[in-house]
Amino acid sequence: MRFTGLSAFPITPAEPDGRVDLPALRRLVARLCEAGVDSVGLLGSTGSYPYLTREERRRALDAALDEAGGRVPVMVGVGALRTDEAVRLAQDARAAGAAAGLLAAVSYTPLTDDEVFEHFSAVARESGLSLCLYDNPSTTHFRFGPELIGRVSRLPGIVAVKSPGQEPQAVAGHLAGLRAVVPHDVSLGYSGDWTTTETLIAGADAWYSVVAGLFPQVALDIVRAVQRGDAAEARRLDARLAPLWALFREYSSLRVMFVCADLLDLCHAAPPRPILPLGEEARQRVAEVIRALDLR
C-alpha cells in the first residue's frame, strides 16, 4: 500500500465515558468515502487515539472498515506508551483489515533515538502490519531527525512517513533531506493543513489532513489542482481558507473540528476531557467562518 494524495483524518465522536459513538463515526466515514478521498486516517491525533481504550479503538476501527467497505483504504493510529500495547493494537488492526497503522513515538519519559528505533522495529516485526512513521512533536514531544527517519524507514513494513508542517521557505530543503535518506518506495506526506499546499507543490506524496475529515471536497480541490500541475489554483484555494487556518492555529484544529461537526449536525460530541469544548464566543467565530466559506 502506497499512501498518496489526500488522507482525511476525522474526529472520533464519543460519550463522556469514552465509549465511541459508532453511528456518528459511520456518518463521518461515509462522508469521506462518498467524496472520494484517497485514504481515511482513523484515530489520529484529531481522532483522539490516546484517550481511548484498546476495546474502543477496535470498535471504532471495525465500524469504520465496515462503513468504508473496501472503497477507501483505512490507516489507523496504533500508538501507545508501551511497546507491548502498541504491538497488540497493531495486531488488532491487522486482524481487522486496516491498510496500515499510524505509529508515533508516544512517551512520558523522554525517549532516545535508539529506544524509538527499537519500538518501531518491535511493532513492525511482531504485528506484521504495514506502518506509517508519525512524527508529531507537538503532541509527543519527540522530534525525529533525518538520520532516525532513515533508519526506521528501512525497516520491513514501513510504507510511509507523516511529517509535521513546514514553513514555506523550509519545505524544499526538508523534503530533499527526507528523499536522501528514505527508500524511494516509502511515501512522504505532511500534516499541518495551513502549510501543506506548498509541500504538495514541492513534491510531497500525501496530505494528511484535518480539514478533510469534515470538509473533504475543499481539500480534494487543492490536491487535484496540484496533481494536474495548476499550482496557482491550488494556492488560490488555500488562500481562501486562511480564516479557517487562523482558527486552527488559535484554538487547535481538534477543538475547531468538534465545533464544526456540531454546527453541521453531524455529531454533538465534545472533545475528551480534560480538553474543554470551545466557549460561545469562539463557537460564534467558527460559525461565521464556515458560513462565509460556505463549508458544509
CA atoms of 32 and 195, how far apart (whole Å) = 22
Active site annotation includes 108:
no
Taking alpha carbons only, the member of 146, 55, 45 closest to residue 96 is 55
Ramachandran area for residue 104 (φ above 0: left; ψ -120 to 50: alpha; else beta): beta
User: d(Cα 233, Cα 145) in Å, to the nearest integer?
Assistant: 33
By the 8 A CB rule, do 177 and 146 touch?
A: yes
Q: Which residues contact 110 (CB under 8 A, 6 or more apart)?
A: 141, 142
- Find cell 464519543 and name the residue: 14
Backbone angles phi, psi at 173, to 5 degrees: -65, -40
In Å, how far from its chain's centre is CA 138? 13
Catalytic hit among 49, 51, 134, 190: 134
| Active-site annotation holder among 49, 51, 108, 162 | 162
CA–CA distance, 200 with 265 (Å, rounded to integer): 32
Q: How many CB atoms lie within 10 A of CB 23?
A: 10
In the residue annotation, 251 being an active-site residue is answered as no
Dump the DSSP string for 2-64.
Answer: ---EEEE-----B-TTS-B-HHHHHHHHHHHHHHT-SEEEETSTTTTGGGS-HHHHHHHHHHH
Strand partners, 251: none
Q: Which of 111, 110, 107, 41 is nearest to 73 (CA)?
A: 41
- Tell me the catalytic residues: 134, 162
